């Protein structure tokens, strides 16, 4: 079994691989890729591709295929939410992190599969890609750090949560320019973390209406907690334990 934890992109990333014959270089490639993403796409590094593009130093035709893909995803979710999700908020620079995290960790999981891994869990700051389960994944209670509001069983897929508890009111409703309200947490299960993470953030930005919106996205299952502490979930969400936040 291979197990490694590193701090990358501002959060802990843990990797567990249970396959016996997956070489150590496969894990090296995962973390090297995530460090590369941090250097290229960080909105906080003046020399990153994102910042250079935001300053007008790189035109769209000069961007890497990776950044073009990320920007296209950002635009897709901006349109799909009527502007609630927006990587270009007024008064702020370009910040595609809401898409970059899930997209890059999913790509890392794809590197593992290409190296022969069939049973693994990759956890990036609470957002998880898993294969070869079943694995049990806990979702933190949005109000109590020492409690879970649910546990789900994940075999092959990804789960992501957007909430206020780690970074406060950091998700902004692009339609108003104000912090998103209406939800305490939004958890989305999908086949890829690119989708799960983007949909979770976009739904949280939409507020209370984001629950129905996320549930309508193809292949997505939802577990949300609103500001009254009520749990709202889709029938297909694979809950393995209690289903109320209390």
Query: What ranges do the domains of the chain cover?
Result: 2-233
> pLDDT for 55-75, tens place per residue?
999 999 999 999 999 999 999
Give 167's pLDDT tier (boundaries 50, 70, 90): low
Identify the residue with better confidence: 243 or 83.
Answer: 83
The percent of residues in the chain predicted with pLDDT above 90, rounded, is 88
Residue 133: pLDDT band by 50, 70, 90 thresholds? Answer: confident
What is the structure's pLDDT at 66?
Answer: 98
Residue 168: predicted pLDDT = 60
20/116: higher pLDDT: 116
pLDDT band at 239 (very low <50, low <70, confident <90, very high): confident
- pLDDT at residue 242 greater than cutoff 80: no
**Where does the chain show beta strands of DSSP type E?**
2-8, 11-17, 120-124, 127-131, 135-140, 148-154, 157-163, 172-173, 178-179, 183-190, 221-226, 231-233
101 has pLDDT over 80: yes
Side by side, which strands form the sheet with 231-233? Answer: 2-8, 11-17, 120-124, 127-131, 157-163, 183-190, 221-226, 231-233
Q: Is the pLDDT of residue 169 over 80?
A: no
Secondary-structure class of domain 2-233 per CATH:
alpha beta
Going by pLDDT thresholds of 50, 70 and 90, the confidence category of residue 83 is very high
Write the CA distances from 211 to 103, 168, 238, integer angstroms: 22, 20, 17
Q: Is the pLDDT of residue 244 over 70?
A: no
Greatest C-alpha distance within the chain: 52
Mean pLDDT of 90-109: 96
Q: What is the pLDDT of residues 37-53, one digit of tens each?
A: 999 999 999 999 999 99
**What value does the mean pLDDT take over residues 166-180?**
85
Pairwise CA distance, residues 165 & 240, whole Å: 23
């Amino acid at each position: 079994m291979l197990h490694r934890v590193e701090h990358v992109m501002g959060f802990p990333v843990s990797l567990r691989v249970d396959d016996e014959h997956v070489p150590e270089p496969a894990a090296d490639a995962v973390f090297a890729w995530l460090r590369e993403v941090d250097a290229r796409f960080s909105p906080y590094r003046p020399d990153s591709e994102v910042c250079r593009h935001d300053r007008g130093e790189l035109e769209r035709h000069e961007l890497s295929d990776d950044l073009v893909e990320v920007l296209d995803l950002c635009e897709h979710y901006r349109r799909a939410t009527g502007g609630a999700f927006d990587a270009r908020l007024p008064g702020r620079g370009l910040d595609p992190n809401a898409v970059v995290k899930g997209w890059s960790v999913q790509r890392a999981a794809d590197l593992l599969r290409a190296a022969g891994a069939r049973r693994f869990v990759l956890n990036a700051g609470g957002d998880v890609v898993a294969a070869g389960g079943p694995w049990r994944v806990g979702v933190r209670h949005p109000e109590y750090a020492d409690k879970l509001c649910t546990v789900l069983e994940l075999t092959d897929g990804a789960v992501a949560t957007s909430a206020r508890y780690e970074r406060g009111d950091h998700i902004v409703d692009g339609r108003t320019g104000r912090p998103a309200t209406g939800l305490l947490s939004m958890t989305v299960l999908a086949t890829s973390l690119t989708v799960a993470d983007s949909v979770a953030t976009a739904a949280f930005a939409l507020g209370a209406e984001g629950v129905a919106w996320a549930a309508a996205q193809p292949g997505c299952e939802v577990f949300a907690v609103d500001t009254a502490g009520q749990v709202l979930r889709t029938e297909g969400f694979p809950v393995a334990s209690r289903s109320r936040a209390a």
